[in-house]
Structure 1
Amino acid sequence: MFGVRRLAMAGAAIALGIASLGATAVSADAASGCYGIGGGKYNCHVWKTAPSFWPGNVRAGTLNAGENYFYCQAKGTRMYEGDYYNVWYGKTDDDSGNKGVWVNAVYISGGGNDQPVPGLPYC
């Protein structure tokens, strides 16, 4: 059930209700989820360049594919691509210079549909 999850940039048709191109080689740790790197950060593999969002359905910027750090995860609005979908979002700083933005977990390797990303704490 665990594997790469995908999502098209299906517009900014999400509303984060948060209360508080191509695949690359992945380490064994990243393939199964995220792992701590210290300082409250967790390394996760982002398999495809992903859009980032502010709460309330506002597009923020872009997070490039590859190893990226995240702080935590929380539930938001479900996003889809084909057979893949997820309601979880990881909080990170994107490659557009935005701090504390959200990226749907469907872009993060590890986990399953509508499941939190293994190894990434809840916000």
Structure 2
Amino acid sequence: MALQRLVTYVSSAAMIAAASLFGLSANAQAADARAADAQAAPRAGCSSIGGGKYNCHVWKTASTWWCTTTDQTDSCDGIPAGILRRGTSYFYCQIWGHDFRYGSYYNHYWARTDDDSGNKRVWLPVVWISGGVNDGPIPGLPFC
């Protein structure tokens, strides 16, 4: 009986140790993945790549929009143009336009780009660009 309890105790301890090691390993892998993602693209706004273009990190694949622009983009017609995939993309400039909201994110600024669908001079709400704040411009991206 004592031997059976000892075997049960050792088996339980081994299972707990294995589970703890697996949990630590999974947490370490998750931390490594987060660190790699953080290094994959700049998160603090945009940086010039020359030729009037600026690289910015887009944190979520999103729709681009057709807009008629003069002094402001507030004449977007509500028709999506295409998509811009998550990752680093180039932009030309940003401008104050109509309000765009996604969950707790909101902004009046829109950034002009060429999207991944082949559309030129389309606009992306800056809520999708890393490095900004609600209702503020994206650092490092000039105004149109």
Residue 100 of structure 2, aligned match among 74, 79, 83: 79
Report deviation, 1:30: 2.3
Rate the CA distance shift 1:107–1:36 in 2: closer, same or farther, 3 A: same
Report deviation, 1:25: 2.0
Q: Runs (4+) of structure 1 moved beyond 6 Å? A: none
* Percent identical: 54
What are the ranges of 5 or more consecutive residues in structure 1 without an aligned counterpart?
Answer: 1-22
Partner residue of 1:9?
Answer: none
What per-residue deviation string (whole Å, max 9, x for no partner) do you get for residues 4-62 of structure 1? Answer: xxxxxxxxxxxxxxxxxxx9824498211000001100000000001000113221000
Greater RCO structure (CA 8 Å; 6+ sep): 1
What per-residue deviation string (whole Å, max 9, x for no partner) do you get for residues 42-98 of structure 1? Answer: 000000001000113221000000000000001111111221101111100000000
The answer to whether the aligner puts 1:91 opposite 2:107 as a matched pair is no
Partner residue of 1:49?
Answer: 61
Rate the CA distance shift 1:120–1:60 in 2: closer, same or farther, 3 A: same
1:70 touches 1:90 (CA, 8 Å); kept in 2? yes
1:78 touches 1:86 (CA, 8 Å); kept in 2? yes
Residue 111 of structure 1, aligned match among 127, 132, 135: 132
Secondary structure, aligned partner of 2:37: coil
Matched length: 101
What are the ranges of 5 or more consecutive residues in structure 2 without an aligned counterpart?
Answer: 1-33, 68-76
More helix per residue: 1 or 2? 2
Question: C-alpha distance in 1, partners of 2:89/2:38?
Answer: 12
RMSD (Å) for aligned C-alpha atoms? 1.9
The answer to whether the aligner puts 1:31 opposite 2:43 as a matched pair is yes
1:29 touches 1:35 (CA, 8 Å); kept in 2? no
Question: C-alpha distance in 1, partners of 2:143/2:39?
Answer: 23
